[in-house]
């Protein structure tokens, strides 16, 4: 299995005229080929920023980002562009941002394949196949801008998968969909993995879509804190050895406080120390 995404200690700062927001503060992420990964976590925790970083839409302020063997921090604009058009399928947050509103549904799905230089017959066939898979074949000739948000999401996913990308990045792909259609999307992501070996990373608030993925990573404060897989919940140990405590322990371990670490043969214990009490051993 090869590594598709390798992010080490990524820091990402959004600068505006009058403020700086640290959206990622030392995020670590390792994803192997063919894995289906869900990124979950509260709004503002850095999920979309991490996705934009993986797509090469943003550069890290510090840290390392390797995607499909390419160093995103160092790649030229041109390299990033060719990478994105050929190897990466991307679905940005917000259904309307991914389609050309005046082009037909079918043209949108075919256009996505132009940059990857697919022959015409292949483009037609793929578009028809994918539109059927997302249940939008009957709307092939409609202008994308006339579709509902949910319909746009389905078409956008078809477009993102049209090149059979090695990596699919989908930010909230089911936010406008009802349960039945959302289940169809989860199924399609799995099919993409089985057919093309596509590695899938989705940001989602949809518990069912999350459950359908192999791994669920929870982001908090610009880092990945916990991971659930095969029914188990794990803390993620960062490159610098830090561990985020589960959010529900916040009242017992207040931020900035101290904890005594006791080493046991097969585990460690953390004992919170009240701020107003000095520890004596
Ligand atoms: N373009 C931007 N300019 C300034 N701040 C931003 C920008 N994009 C995101 N942020 C801020 O960065 C933080 C992380 O945002 P984001 O990655 O969108 O989180 P999520 O997708 O988990 O909701 C938030 O505090 C958000 O307000
Ligand atoms: Mg977001």
CATH number at residue 206: 3.40.50.300
Mean pLDDT value across residues 146-151: 93
Assigned token pair, 116? 């990857």
CA distance 106 to 127: 6
Which ligand sits closest to the CA of 172?
2
- 134 and 270 housed in the same domain: no
Say if residue 50's pLDDT is above 90.
Answer: yes
Q: Does 102 share its domain with 225?
A: yes
- Domain hosting residue 279, numbered range: 251-281
* DSSP code per residue over 194-230: HHH--EEEEE---HHHHHHSSEEEEEETTEEEEEEET
Of 229, 167, 155, the closest CA to residue 193 belongs to: 167
| Ligand 1 pocket, mutate which of 17, 21, 45 (most atoms under 8 A from CB) | 21
Distances from the Cα of 273 to the Cα of 65, 114, 246, angstroms? 37, 61, 18
- Reported as type and span, the H/E element at residue 50 is helix 47-55
Region 130-135 average pLDDT: 92
pLDDT digits (tens, 9 = 90+) for 209-266: 999 999 999 999 999 989 999 888 898 888 888 888 888 888 999 888 899 999 999 9
Q: Are residues 155 and 260 in the same domain?
A: no
Ligand 1: which residue has its CA nearest to atom 6? 14
Token code pair at residue 261: 């670490």
Note whether 217 and 281 are same-domain residues: no
What the block records as the tokens of 221 is: 């404060």
DSSP state of 268: E
Contact by Cβ (8 Å): 50, 26: no
Confidence of residue 277 (pLDDT cuts 50, 70, 90): low
Mutate to test the pocket of ligand 1, among 11, 12, 14 (most ligand atoms within 8 A of CB): 14
Asked whether residue 86 falls in the same domain as residue 147, the answer is: yes
pLDDT tens-place string over residues 12-23: 999 989 999 999
pLDDT mean across residues, the chain: 91
Q: Does residue 106 sit in the same domain as residue 225?
A: yes
Cα gap 69→46, rounded to integer Å: 23
Tokens for 101?
């509103």
Please tell me whether residues 43 and 150 are part of one structural domain: yes
What is d(CA 191, CA 161) in angstroms, rounded to the nearest whole number? 11
Give the chain's domain count.
2
Both 192 and 255 in one domain: the answer is: no
Cβ neighbourhood burial of 231 (10 Å; 0-12, 13-18, 19+): exposed
24 and 41 belong to one structural domain: yes
Give CA–CA dist 238/256, Å, rounded.
18
Q: How far apart are CA 253 and CA 251, in angstroms?
A: 6
Do 21 and 149 share a domain, yes or no? yes
Return the ligand 1 atom nearest residue 50 CA.
Answer: 17
**Cα atoms found within 13 Å of the Cα of residue 195, Cβ hemisphere only:** 12
- Tokens matching residue 244: 């985020």
Q: Render pLDDT for 87-118 as a digit per residue (tens, 0 to 9).
A: 999 999 888 889 999 999 999 999 888 877 88
Write phi, then psi, for 191 (nearest 5 degrees). -60, -40
Residues 271 and 167 in one domain: no
Instruction: For residue 199, give both structure tokens.
Output: 């590695």
With a Cβ cut-off of 6 Å, ligand 1 is lined by 14, 16, 21, 23, 41, 43-49
Helix (H, G, I), strand (E, B) or coil at 62: strand
Whether residue 43 has pLDDT greater than 90? yes
**The predicted structure's pLDDT at residue 67:** 96
Residues 217 and 270 grouped into a single domain: no
Q: How far is the CA of 11 from the centre of ligand 1 (A)?
A: 13
**What's the mean pLDDT in 162-181?**
91
């Amino acid at each position: 299995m090869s590594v598709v995404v390798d992010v080490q200690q990524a820091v990402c700062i959004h600068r505006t005229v009058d403020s700086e927001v640290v959206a990622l503060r030392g995020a670590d992420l390792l994803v192997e080929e063919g894995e289906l990964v869900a990124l979950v976590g509260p709004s503002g925790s850095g999920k979309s920023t991490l996705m934009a970083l993986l797509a090469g839409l943003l550069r890290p302020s510090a840290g390392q980002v390797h995607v499909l063997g390419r160093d995103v921090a160092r790649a030229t604009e041109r390299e990033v562009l060719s990478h994105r058009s050929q190897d990466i399928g991307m679905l940005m947050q917000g259904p309307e941002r991914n389609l050309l509103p005046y082009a037909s549904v079918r043209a949108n799905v075919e256009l996505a394949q132009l940059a990857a230089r697919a022959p015409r017959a292949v483009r037609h066939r793929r578009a028809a196949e994918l539109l059927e898979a997302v249940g939008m074949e009957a709307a092939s000739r409609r202008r994308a801008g006339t579709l509902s948000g949910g319909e746009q999401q389905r078409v956008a996913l078809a477009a993102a998968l049209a090149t059979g990308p090695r990596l699919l990045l989908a930010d909230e792909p089911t936010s406008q969909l009802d349960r039945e259609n959302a289940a169809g999307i989860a199924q399609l992501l799995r099919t993409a993995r089985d057919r093309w070996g596509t590695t899938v990373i989705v940001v989602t608030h949809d518990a069912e879509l999350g459950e359908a993925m192999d791994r669920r990573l929870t982001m908090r404060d610009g880092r990945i804190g916990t991971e659930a897989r095969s029914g188990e919940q794990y803390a993620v140990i960062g490159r610098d050895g830090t561990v985020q405590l589960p959010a529900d322990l916040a009242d017992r371990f207040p931020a900035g406080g101290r904890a005594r670490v006791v080493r046991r043969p097969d585990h460690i214990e953390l004992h919170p120390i009240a701020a107003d009490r000095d520890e004596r051993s």
